[in-house]
Each structure stands twice: as C-alpha cells, then as structure tokens.
Amino acid sequence: MNHAEVLAAYDRQIRRDARTDSPGARVERAGAVVRQLGAEHDWNGVHWADVDAATADTVIAEQVRYYTALGREFEWKLYSHDRPADLADRLRTAGFVPEPPETVMVAEVAELPTEPELPEGVHLLPVTDGAGAQLMADAHEVAFGEDGTGLSERLAKRVLTQLTETPDAVVAVVAMAGDVPVSSARMEFYPGTDFAGLWGGGTAPRWRGKGIYRALIAHRTRIAADRGYRYLQVDATDDSRPILQRLGFVPLSVTTPFVYEPQKQER
C-alpha cells in the first residue's frame, strides 16, 4: 500500500468530498470549510478546512458562531497531518475540548479474512429494525458503561433512522451470547469512493479476548468485498489498534475530536 496515495485519496474522497452520514443531515461547503449539520442526535462538525496560519482563527470563529446560533454542539475533526501545525492549539484557545485521539487505520479488503470465527455460544444477529437498534445500544452500554450523556440512546436513534431511510448505506450487527447482547458494530458505505467505514466493536468485559472483535471485522469485510469496496477504514482506539494491525490494517493518520459545547461556553 502506498501510504501517500491512500492518504490523498482518503482526504479527497472522505473529507473534501464528504457525503452526509445521516438522512436528516446535510453537508455544506462554506468557503474554506466542508461541514455537516444535522439534528442533535446526528454528527455535527467540520470534516475539512483549507486554512493556514493567516486564516485559521477567522475560520474557527466563523464555525463557532454558525453552530452556536443553531444551538448545536459540534466537533472539529482534526487530523495529525492537517495544517497549520498549531491548529490544535488554536482550537483549544477558541474553547474546543479535545477528546482522546484515535488512529486512522486502513486495510485492503482483498487482504483481510472474511469468515467470522465466533466463540461457542455466540452468534451474530443482523440489525434491521428498532428492536435490533436497541440491542446495539444495550451492547454499547455493556461494553463502555453508561456515561450519562445519552450516547447509547442517540446511537440507537441514528442507526434506526439510517436503516429506515437509507438502508443501503449502513450494515449493523449485534453479537449475542444466547439472548444477551455482548458486542455490536456497524459499517457505513460511501458510494463512489474506495472506502467503507467500520464503527463500533466494543465488547462486554467478560467476553473480551475471545475473538468477537475479529469476527465482527470479518463479517463486515465479506459484505464490503461483495459490494466492491477496495479499502476498509477505522478510527482505532489504543485497545483495538493492536488487533487491527495483526489483521493487516496500517496507520494512516491520527484524528482527535475537538468538541465545542455552546452551553459550557455561556457559563
């Protein structure tokens, strides 16, 4: 894999030419910025910004005014190769709070396993309706705990909206131990690009280390291959990065979500 070529393709296809990831949201191209605006349960934020040292602060301030006027919390999705080099510091100064960084990893679909190997007693349940979306939310809470932000509830609502209004744009699955959800994952498709995106995969503590995460990767890889995608992309945590590397994923960049919450800035 040619790192520079794949990174350039990723920036062009996924960021600069971004498509909405939710039926209720829209992608806007406003001057130097490509951003998404949606409902509160949608992802709202900046995909791409063509800024330099002379323009960055002005563009940042414009986005803060825009989303604040609409009452939206939003994210500036910063990548380690973005410019200017001090963009992270400028975002902090403007009131953004960084969340834990994740490694953007990519693998060629043709090089990955496509047969899930699950531990005894675990099966995969495709998510197709509201009940399945709720199982995804339950699996998320079991894996990560409920943090009081309503993230699991928003995830269930978002996935159900996707399944209802744009069913060809997402595949979701829950790993079940009997009738108990222990892990979940989804894959989002970006038509007209080389990339399909992997999301989720968190597993209940007592079921970790048994191959469920790898099985969920294989399950989605087979679907991506059937649909003709060349690459799988994932924003990997420190926990999942070693597993992905063993499967053949390689680091492309590092992304840090910088979050702006208008309510906190008003206090």
Interval 142-194: pLDDT, tens: 998 865 556 788 888 888 988 998 888 999 999 999 999 999 999 999 889 99
Q: What is the pLDDT of residue 257?
A: 97
Q: Are residues 175 and 67 in the same domain?
A: no
Q: What's the pLDDT band for 42 if we cut at 50, 70, 90?
A: confident
Q: Are residues 137 and 80 in the same domain?
A: no
Task: Please give the residue range of the domain that contains residue 228.
Answer: 108-253
Q: Are residues 175 and 80 in the same domain?
A: no
As a whole-number percent, the residues of the chain with pLDDT over 90 amount to 80
Q: What is the pLDDT of residue 21?
A: 76
Q: How many domains in the chain?
A: 2
Q: Are residues 84 and 200 in the same domain?
A: no
Q: Is the pLDDT of residue 50 over 80?
A: yes
Q: Are residues 79 and 125 in the same domain?
A: no
Give the mean model confidence (pLDDT) for residues 194-198: 97
Q: What is the pLDDT of residue 166?
A: 87
Q: What is the pLDDT of residue 155?
A: 82
Q: What is the pTM of this model?
A: 0.89
Q: What's the pLDDT band for 267 if we cut at 50, 70, 90?
A: low
Give the mean model confidence (pLDDT) for residues 15-27: 89
Q: Are residues 215 and 166 in the same domain?
A: yes
**In CATH, what number is assigned to the domain containing residue 199?**
3.40.630.30
Q: Are residues 127 and 216 in the same domain?
A: yes
Q: What is the pLDDT of residue 239?
A: 87
The more confident residue out of 68 and 239 is: 68
**In CATH, what number is assigned to the domain containing residue 99?**
3.40.630
Give the mean model confidence (pLDDT) for residues 27-46: 94
Q: Are residues 40 and 127 in the same domain?
A: no
Q: Are residues 248 and 147 in the same domain?
A: yes
Q: Is the pLDDT of residue 266 over 70?
A: no
Q: Are residues 229 and 145 in the same domain?
A: yes
Q: Is the pLDDT of residue 114 over 80?
A: yes
Q: What integer best gives the mean pLDDT of the chain?
A: 93
Q: What is the pLDDT of residue 216?
A: 97
Q: What is the pLDDT of residue 162?
A: 87
Q: Are residues 198 and 245 in the same domain?
A: yes
Q: Are residues 122 and 91 in the same domain?
A: no
Q: What is the pLDDT of residue 209?
A: 93
Give the mean model confidence (pLDDT) for residues 71-88: 97
Three-class DSSP labels, the chain: CCHHHHHHHHHHHHHHCCCCCCCCCEEEEECCEEEEECCCCCCCEEEEECCCCCCHHHHHHHHHHHHHHCCCCEEEEEECCCCCCCHHHHHHHCCCEECCCEEEEEEEHHHCCCCCCCCCCEEEEECCCHHHHHHHHHHHHHHHCCCCCCHHHHHHHHHHHHHHHCHHHEEEEEEEECCEEEEEEEEEECCCCCEEEEEEEEECHHHCCCCHHHHHHHHHHHHHHHCCCCEEEEEECCCCHHHHHHHCCEEEEEEEEEEECHHHHHC
Q: What is the pLDDT of residue 146?
A: 67
